[in-house]
Amino acid sequence: MNTPKEVVQIVNKLALNKGNYKINKTLILAFLAGAYIAFGGLLAIIVGGGSPGLAASNPGIVKFLFGATFPIGLILVVTVGAELFTGNNAYFVPNVLSRKQNIGAVLKNWGLVYFGNFLGAIFVAYVITHLTHIVSGSPFIDSVHNVAVGKTSHTFLVTFLKGIGANWLVCLAVWQGMAAKNTTGKILSIWLPVMAFVTMGFEHSIANMYFIPLAIFEGTNITWTSFLINNLIPATLGNIVGGVLFVGLPYGYLFGKLDTGIKI
């Protein structure tokens, strides 16, 4: 497997490439990533949300099933290639620290990718899920409702903190995926941390671009304003902090320096 220093070197090259993408390429790849994450959310609803009897007797197992099926989204993002806002929160930090990229390039990428992710997630929520009535019947519709209501019922601070936890683990999943040198290793490395953050109930802004709009389309009594203020904004800010402060910054600082040949 690749060492932490080698992973940061891979990250640096990827971030430089991402910063040089044309706008249309970034948006297309971001749309795909938003759709991939949404597919993971849909699978989690079908498997985890489709087990109400099990939930009544063993809610921990159902949370695990929900978490265990969701990671297909990030696995697709990493293995087939796409632009995901939350992963990119950490990608650019080592290059910013070493002044290989400026903050303007980072913010441009983040803005384009966030917008593209939103379009992809909304597309799967409305066209692929709502219009096909995949979740319109019980027990799936109950899961859609309960997930969205739960995500919009916390205080700003709680959702923000849950956002930190989510992207701390998501970015570690991406980092681990780059440490692995074969497809099987990448899949397992990505699956474990993503499964963990979903099972524990943390808040991932891009996943929530699917879960909560889907509930709105399905008639849940949640407004778009409530979605934005009570969930998306604090979750996004928490995701940025989780990716930048707890993954990109420490690993960029510790392993992103040029090798001087001095052993310590």
- Grade residue 264 by pLDDT with cuts at 50, 70 and 90: very low
**Predicted TM-score (pTM) of this structure:** 0.95
Give the chain's mean pLDDT. 95
On whether residue 35 sits in a domain, the answer given is yes
CATH number at residue 213: 1.20.1080.10
CA distance 26 to 20: 9
pLDDT surpassing 80 at residue 229: yes
CA distance 240 to 91: 11
- Grade residue 42 by pLDDT with cuts at 50, 70 and 90: very high
On whether residue 261 sits in a domain, the answer given is no
pLDDT surpassing 80 at residue 263: no
pLDDT surpassing 70 at residue 223: yes
Query: Residue 117: which of 175, 73, 157 has the closest Cα?
Result: 73
On whether residue 260 sits in a domain, the answer given is no
On whether residue 23 sits in a domain, the answer given is yes
The pLDDT value given to residue 217: 98
Q: Which domain holds residue 160?
A: 4-253
On whether residue 264 sits in a domain, the answer given is no
Top pLDDT among 264 and 60 is at 60
* Alpha-carbon torsion (130, 133, 134, 138), positive or negative: positive
CA distance 178 to 189: 9
pLDDT surpassing 90 at residue 180: yes
Top pLDDT among 43 and 52 is at 43
On whether residue 208 sits in a domain, the answer given is yes
Backbone φ/ψ region at 261: left (φ over 0), alpha (ψ -120 to 50), beta: left
On whether residue 39 sits in a domain, the answer given is yes
CA distance 252 to 135: 43
On whether residue 159 sits in a domain, the answer given is yes
Alpha helices in the chain (DSSP H): 4-19, 23-47, 52-57, 59-69, 72-76, 85-91, 93-97, 103-123, 140-151, 156-179, 183-199, 205-217, 224-227, 233-243, 249-255
User: 187-207 b/e with 16+ CB inside 10 Å = b?
Assistant: bebbbebbbbbbbeebbbbbb
* Average pLDDT for 227-232: 98
The count of structural domains within the chain is 1
* Average pLDDT for 214-233: 98
- Grade residue 46 by pLDDT with cuts at 50, 70 and 90: very high
Confirm if 216 and 222 have CB atoms less than 8 A apart.
Answer: yes
Confirm if 205 and 177 have CB atoms less than 8 A apart.
Answer: no
The pLDDT value given to residue 56: 83
- Cα separations (Å) of 149 from 107, 183, 243? 31, 37, 26
